[in-house]
Structure 1
Amino acid sequence: MSIYVDADACPVKAEVEKVGTRHGLRMFIVSNGGLRPSQNPLVETVIVPDGPDVADMWIAERAGPGDVVITGDIPLAARCVESGAQVLKHNGEALTAANIGNVLATRDLMADLRAADPFRQGGGKGFTKADRSRFLDALERAVRAAAR
């Protein structure tokens, strides 16, 4: 069992390392660069070449049953769910075979709405302490479920 983190703009890398270390799991922190490597021997920092979705492809090619993937990228999440991995968003929301279709459809709808209104400003909600706490709890549950 391994934990894969889509690390570009990931606000919970430290939390992943904390939970992964407690369970003695191998963790892969995957990005295009710009990250300080962890000194933790269980953490492998993977720097992929620049390019669209290169980090996503690296993770999707490796994640499978028994693994946990942390990402906010919905198409990557769909590929990982399909391969049998457990997937969590940064706020602790689990993406599963039961909900990934709706999440993908909502993502596509929101992209269309943003494209239709170029003057629309703002984005999503900020990342809160409650999100961080929810994520820690969800990751702990996902790791235990994957171990079964």
Structure 2
Amino acid sequence: MRLWVDADACPNVIKNILFRAAERVQIPCILVANQAVSIPPSKWIERRVVSSGFDVADNYIVEEATAEDIVITADIPLASEIIDKGAVAINPRGELYTKENIRQRLNMRDFMEQMRSSGVQTGGPASFSQQDRMVFANTLDKLLAQRQNH
């Protein structure tokens, strides 16, 4: 089991939770980005720098991830591909993407994209809160416990 992190847009507070979890459970945590992201010295934490370009990091994660892995991403199309591989995907706010909810998330994402492209101001996501951080940490802990017991 490995933790894969779509690191370009992942908040630092979430990366820190992941670093602590990787050390505690002793599993690899791999941050994938198209620029060097800072990581603490650890045999469990590494970064993979991929070339710039649309979806290069996402494609790398999809290629490398296996069904035993957990992927942290806010990218809904990436989460969908990860679910199709049988792996687990969660977003930095702790929401677990599932076969049951991913289609709805993709539809909402496409709808919002259409709204923005037609000039409607949709605003961005809500700012990241302490509650989001706690939900993420709890979701991650549950997933790690479940996957270690298999």
Alpha-carbon distance change, 127 to 25 in structure 1, aligned in 2, over 3 angstroms = same
Letter matched to residue 87 of structure 2: A
Structure 1 residue ranges (4+ consecutive) displaced by more than 2 angstroms after TM superposition: none
- Could you say what the CA RMSD is over the residues aligned between the two structures, in angstroms? 1.2
Q: Tell me the TM-score normalised to structure 2 length.
A: 0.93
- Name structure 1 gaps, 5 residues minimum: none
Q: Which of 116, 120, 145 is the matching residue for 1:114?
A: 116
Q: Is the 2:115–2:122 Cα contact (8 Å) retained in structure 1?
A: no
Q: Is the 2:23–2:44 Cα contact (8 Å) retained in structure 1?
A: yes
Q: Tell me the TM-score normalised to structure 1 length.
A: 0.94
1:7 corresponds to 2:7: yes
Indicate the structure whose relative CO is greater, using CA pairs within 8 Å and at least 6 residues apart. Answer: 1
Q: Is the 2:116–2:122 Cα contact (8 Å) retained in structure 1?
A: no
Q: Is the 1:4–1:70 Cα contact (8 Å) retained in structure 2?
A: yes
- 1:1-148 equivalent positions in 2, closer than 5 A: 1-11=1-11, 12-117=14-119, 120=121, 122-147=123-148, 148=150
Paired residues, what number?
147
Matched-pair identity in %: 34
Distance 2:88 2:9 in 1: 20
- Cα deviation for residue 37 of structure 1 reads 3.2
- Name structure 2 gaps, 5 residues minimum: none
